[in-house]
Amino acid sequence: MTRALPAASRPFVAFPALLRQHGFAVAPEQTVAFLEAVRLLGPRSIEHVRRAAVATLAPHPHQMARFDALFDLHFLGGFAEPDEADDWQPDEETKIQEEGGEREILVGESVNETGQQAIEAEALAVRRLRPADDGGLLVRLARDLPDALPRRRGYRFRAARRGQRIDLAQSLRAAIRTDGEVMSLKRRRRGTRTRPVLMLIDVSGSMKGRTDANLALAHTLVQAAPRAEVFTFGTRLTRLTRVLKLRNREQALAQASGLVADWDGGTRIGDALQAFLAVPRYAGYARGAVVVILSDGLERGDPAAMIAAMRRLAARAFRIDWLSPLAADPDYRPETDAMAAIRPLVTTLANGASTAAICRHLTALGDGRAA
């Protein structure tokens, strides 16, 4: 840079820098667009600057509250460091009303919910995840999983020796080489795509022994599968996919531990599933997907809610695999009201007692060998 910035524009250049310090991805071209926008709008008031900033720096909707807090801090001289707990999600929060009083299932995506008021039935906890030594199981899972998942027909056409459709572009190209004589008709067909995987992990107290290992497994799943979504549930529902996309497992799990607020608490599977289905964006993740639920199914809430939610989930999913630690016992029969009622909706109810058992199940999904 050969010229110093005019003093008046410095705060506007400094703001994107501040955003970057707080984890927002802001490209230099967006800073330029922000300056231009401020110039175009006048600015006549601080609200014009704010609107220019939102439009050009494009914060993700779930980062909006943090963005506003940083804006206030920077331009209005706010006092506090913005709390990371207040992310606003226009279409991603939902409340579940229950009979006998109001209880909430809070839906969070990349949300640290420590600022939320805890409700009586919840035991909110902070937990340090320690992935156990899996003896290379997860390395093998990462290697085998992409080829092992079920596939469906895709919508994109690819060149193929045999196919339903004639590839006119390629056929013409071949014909040009033979002076317009069509010697061979090239063909194309629809390819296949790996089905998405949706993993729902029970993090309630009764699953305490499996939680660390299940989260480590979920990290491998998100890393290895072409499309995977991971949510945890106990008394709340939390989307973990975003943090599990971090390549480094320790870092990812450290962030996940801060994100989930209901470790080792109670279980309200029905409410959590209904909260999941009530967000159209989330419910879409289940469409045509392999849904894997890691839970013992010990429901503390109303079984009717769980049954209704499972019915809706089953209508969307390609298959639902319920992997329960209790199923390690060959004599296990789902006898609670809820589990007995949802048994017909579940494709398989199988052993989820160890990482090895879950890995075996996942890698056998595609070829009909799933237990």
Partner 1 sequence: MVLRAPMPGLSSPEALADALRAAYYLADDGIATAAFLALALGKPLLLEGAPGVGKTEAAKALSGILGRQLIRLQCFEGIDASAALYEWNYPRQMLAIRQAREGEHADIYRDDFLIERPMLAVLRRPQSTVLLIDEIDRSDHEFEAFLLEFLSDFSISIPERGTLRASERPVVVLTSNRTRDLHEALRRRCIYHYIAYPDPAREAAIIMLRSSAVAEATARAVVHAVGLLRQEPLTKPPGVAESVDWAEAATALSRTGAPWPDAFRRSIGAALKDEEDLAHMRPRLDALIGAIAR
Q: Which residues bind partner 1 (CB under 8 A)?
A: 25, 27, 29-30, 32-33, 36-37, 40-41, 47-48, 51-52, 54-56, 58, 60-61, 64, 90-91, 94-96, 154-157, 168-169, 171-172, 175-176, 179-180, 182, 274-275, 277-278, 280-281, 283-284, 312
Least distance in Å: CB of 278 to partner 1?
3
Q: How far is the CB of 46 from partner 1 (least distance, A)?
A: 13
Nearer to partner 1, 277 or 306 (CB): 277
Nearer to partner 1, 127 or 186 (CB): 186
CB of 44 to partner 1, least distance (A): 9
User: Cβ 180 to partner 1, closest distance in Å?
Assistant: 4
Nearer of residues 14 and 168 to partner 1, judged by Cβ:
168
Q: How far is the CB of 95 from partner 1 (least distance, A)?
A: 7
> At its nearest, how many Å lie between partner 1 and the CB of residue 287?
9
Our CB check for partner 1 shows the closer of 30 and 363 to be 30
Q: How far is the CB of 82 from partner 1 (least distance, A)?
A: 19
> Among residues 102 and 367, whose Cβ is nearest to partner 1?
102
CA dihedral 15, 17, 18, 23 (to 10 degrees): 130
43 versus 356: smaller Cβ distance to partner 1? 43
- Of 90 and 344, nearer to partner 1 (C-beta) is 90
Of 67 and 322, which CB lies nearer to partner 1 in the complex structure? 67
Instruction: Find the shortest distance in angstroms from Cβ 341 to partner 1.
Output: 18
SS (H, E, C) the chain: CCCCCCHHHHHHHHHHHHHHHCCCCCCHHHHHHHHHHHHHHCCCCHHHHHHHHHHHHCCCHHHHHHHHHHHHHHHCCCCCCCCCCCCCCCCCCCCCECCCCECCCCEEECCCHHHCCCCCCCCCECCCCCCCCCCCHHHHHHHHHHHHCCEEEEEEEEEECCCCEECHHHHHHHHHHCCCCCCCCCEEEEEEEECCEEEEEECCHHHHHHHHHHHHHHHHHHHHCCCEEEEEECCCEEECHHHHCCCCHHHHHHHHHHHCCECCCCCCHHHHHHHHHHCHHHHHHCCCCEEEEECCCCCCCCHHHHHHHHHHHHHHCCEEEEEEHHHHCCCCCCCCHHHHHHHHHCCEEEECCCHHHHHHHHHCHHHCCCC
